[in-house]
Structure 1
Amino acid sequence: MAEFRVARVKQGHTKIRNVPIAVTPEGFWCCPSPVVFQKTLKSQNLESKPRPSSPPSKTSVQKKPNTLNERKPTPNSSRSKLLPDDQRSVTSDANETAETEWENLRHKVAIEFGEHGTSDLKVVLCGKPGFSVKMSVHKNVLVENSTFFADKLCQRQSPISCLEVGDCDDVESYVETVGLMYCKEMKHRLIKQSVSRVLRILKSNEERGRREMKSLVLKLLRENNTHLDSSGTAEMVNENIYSFCRSCMNSLLMLFRQAAEPGFVDKSLDSKGPVMRQIALQADNLLWLLEILIDRQAAEEFAHIWGSQKELATIHAKLPTVSRHLVSCITARLFVGIGRGEMLPSKDTRQLLLQTWLQPLIDDYCWLQHSCRSFDRKLVEEGIGRTILTLPLEDQQNILLSWLGSFLKAGDNCPNLQRAFEVWWRRTFIKSNVELQGSLLNSDG
Structure 2
Amino acid sequence: MRRRLLSSTLLVAVIGVLLLGIPLGVAVNRLIEEEATQELSSQAKSLLGEVEYARIQDQPVDSEQLKRKYPDRYIQIYAKGTPPLVLTAGNEPSENSKMTQDAQSENGVYIAVSRDRTQVEHEVRAWLLLILALAAAALAVAVGLAIVQSRRLTLPLVDLAMIAERLGSGDARPSKHRYGIQELDRVAEVLDRSATRISDLLAREREFATDASHQLRTPLTGLTMRLEEIVAAAHEPGIVKEEGEAAIVQAERLTAVIDELLSAARRQRQAQTEAVELDDLLDQQFIEWGPAFRRVGRQLSLSGARGLKAVGTSGGISQVISTLLENSLEHGGGTVTVTTSEKERSIVVEVADEGQGISGDLAPRVFERNVSGAGGTGLGLTLARALAAADGGRLELVRPRPAVFALFLRQVGDIGRNRVVSGPA
- TM normalised by structure 2 equals 0.20
Q: Which has the higher helix share?
A: 1
Higher relative contact order (Cα pairs below 8 Å, separated by 6+ residues):
2
Q: Which has the higher strand share?
A: 2
- TM normalised by structure 1 equals 0.19
**Larger Rg, first or second structure (1 or 2):** 2
